[in-house]
Amino acid sequence: MDVAGVAEGADVAGGAAGPVLLEARGLRKVYGSGASEVRALDGVDFALHQGEIVVLLGPSGSGKSTLLNLLGGLDIPSGGTIRFDDHDLTKASGEALTRYRRDHVGFVFQFYNLIPSLTARENVALVTDIASRPMTPEESLAMVGLGERLDHFPAQLSGGEQQRVAIARAIAKNPQLLLCDEPTGALDSHTGRLVLGAIAEVNRRLSTAVAVITHNAVIAGMGDRVISLADGRIVSETRNAHRLSPLEMSW
């Protein structure tokens, strides 16, 4: 299969959304060396447009997290380029990557990664303390439906609530990019739908570009585009005629 061709097609087909925000070409990531070498990503071309939701689908170990980490500036690729606006992330210093994450990217992780010693409000404040144009923690938490639980510690919140705090924390900086790695992986389906609903709501209200990783095919319906990965390569890309609301999905 012509992977590059598929990716190029995606570029053209992305007309429905805004201009290209983030673009990766020939992305490779190799862990280890010699006999224990793992090719986690093996030549991936990928673009993310302003305002769209892309669902990255693939079995465990297919390289989804690796791709997301590279796009979010958490890691450096072994080969290929990533461009954000006019910046080449592959050539950026650690400092510049920190600034990139601070100003432009919001992360949502499978295990929430909240700071257990901080309340919901304080967890969000971690971001608003350092971002350049943040909303207030209260606004951000209200947006994910947690306006009432500002002063609860993570241990006093359910899994779904914790993940919504994580989303609030990710969006409080008004990011251009929201990267979610298996956001529902640790949640039951009802709670998972609530969390995905919050993400879709953020995309609708702030026109943030969203990439959602999942190994759950049902979730693919919420995306404008669905990209499937296997063994570090993109194996298919489909465009949904219309996005499903997470509330309409069931698994």
Ligand X SMILES: Nc1ncnc2c1ncn2[C@@H]1O[C@H](COP(=O)(O)OP(=O)(O)O)[C@@H](O)[C@H]1O
Query: What single string gives the DSSP state of each residue in the chain?
Result: --HHHHHHHHHHHGGGS-SEEEEEEEEEEEES-GGG-EEEEEEEEEEEETT-EEEEE--TTSSHHHHHHHHTTSS--SEEEEEETTEEGGG--HHHHHHHHHHHEEEE-TT----TTS-HHHHHHHHHTT-SS---HHHHHHHTT-TT-TT--GGGS-HHHHHHHHHHHHHTT--SEEEEESTTTTS-HHHHHHHHHHHHHHHHHH--EEEEEES-GGGGGGSSEEEEEETTEEEEEEE-SSPPPGGG---
> Is residue 111 within the footprint of other proteins (CB under 8 A)?
yes
Q: In this chain, which stretch among 5-13, 124-132, 197-205, 227-235 interacts with other proteins, using CB under 8 A? A: 124-132
CB of 214 to Mg ion, least distance (A): 10
For residues 65 and 228, which CB has a smaller minimum distance to ligand X in the complex? 65
Q: Which of 60, 93, 132, 250 binds ligand X (CB under 6 A)?
A: 60
Under 8 Å between Cβ of 105 and 175: yes
Task: Choose, by CB under 8 A, the member of 49, 64, 164, 169 that binds other proteins.
Answer: 169
Q: How far is CA 146 from CA 6, 20, 59, 194, in A?
A: 40, 32, 32, 12
Q: Give me the phi and psi of 154, to 5 degrees please.
A: -50, -40
**Judged by CB under 6 A, which stretch of 57-65, 104-112, 119-127, 241-249 contacts ligand X?**
57-65
For the segment 176-205, give every residue that binds ligand X (CB under 6 A).
Answer: none
If binding is defined by CB under 8 A, does position 89 make contact with other proteins? no
Window 219-238: residues binding Mg ion (CB under 5 A)? none
Under rule CB under 8 A, residue 96 binds other proteins: no
From 14, 24, 45, 64, residue interacting with ligand X (rule: CB under 6 A): 64
Binding segment for ligand X (CB under 6 A), chosen from 12-20, 43-51, 53-61, 189-197, is 53-61
Closest CA to 205 of 142, 149, 251, 146: 142
CB-nearer residue toward Mg ion: 73 or 134: 73
Which of 117, 158, 236, 245 touches other proteins by CB under 8 A?
117
Taking the least distance from each CB to ligand X, the nearer of 58 and 246 is 58
User: In the set 23, 53, 65, 203, which binds ligand X (CB under 6 A)?
Assistant: 65
Check residue 65 for interaction with Mg ion (CB under 5 A): yes
Q: Are 118 and 126 in contact (CB under 8 A)?
A: yes
Single residue of 27, 54, 57, 58 touching ligand X by CB under 6 A: 58
Point out which residues bind other proteins (CB under 8 A).
Answer: 65, 69, 72, 74-75, 94-95, 98-99, 101-103, 105, 107, 109, 111-118, 122-123, 125-127, 129-131, 154-155, 162, 169, 173, 181, 186
